[in-house]
Amino acid sequence: MTCDVLEMMTDGLGIKPRNTHSKLVSGENTDSIFRLNHYPPCPLINNNNTNGSNIVIGFGEHTDPQIISVLRSNNTCGLQINLSDGSWISVPSDPSSFFFNVSDSLQVLTNGRFKSVKHRVLANSRKSRVSMIYFAGPSLTQRIAPLTCLIDNEDESLYEEFTWSEYKNSTYNSRLSDNRLQPFEKKAVSLND
């Protein structure tokens, strides 16, 4: 299913071959992982012990570093995504649906045409939230850079090339909420340089 979605995204960008992105996460040596999260009920929300904000963060704001993330959860709300204006909106809970998040590496591969989704999870006062996430990552030695078919010249590339291992190590040395792509963004060249 993950590969099918990546291939549809590749089609939408007019990239050939169709498996340009999906082949990065379908080999034997991929660094993909599956995680199960459990967020127990948080009665603090009802007791107004949240410093007036009336929200309790279950998992802080972040983007996922991999290529794409696939999420499925029980019937308890909590997932929120951050909009470009800085506001947060709740994603309706639907235990029969899968949610796909563009991750940092896909943002780089598409030279920013697809943006990594900043998200967080809020605790619920009465019900537990359980989520399952498949993080589709490439092999540790895979080189990540904007695809040449999406840029007319090297100056249009927004990111420096890196390996998945280099990026993964960089994310471990940063805070969850940091823009972890920033060290790999190409610096604007001044005309006076």
What's the pLDDT score for residue 193?
Answer: 45
Residue 100 · residue 4 · CB < 8 Å: no
Residue 68 · residue 116 · CB < 8 Å: no
What's the pLDDT score for residue 110?
Answer: 97
| CA 134/CA 52 separation, integer angstroms | 35
What's the pLDDT score for residue 54?
Answer: 63
Residue 60 backbone phi and psi in degrees, to 5: -65, 165
What's the pLDDT score for residue 191?
Answer: 42
Task: Report the catalytic residues.
Answer: 129
| CA 69/CA 111 separation, integer angstroms | 18
**Radius of gyration of the chain from its Cα atoms, rounded to whole angstroms:** 18
Correct CATH for 32-184 of 2.60.120.330, 2.60.40.10, 2.60.40.420, 3.30.460.10: 2.60.120.330
Block means of pLDDT (10 residues each) for the chain, length 193 residues? 98 97 95 95 66 72 97 94 96 94 98 96 91 97 96 87 97 92 78 44
pTM for the full predicted model: 0.89
What's the pLDDT score for residue 189?
Answer: 44
- Label the pairing between strands 143-144 and 99-102: unpaired
Q: Where are the domains of the chain?
A: 32-184
What's the pLDDT score for residue 9?
Answer: 98
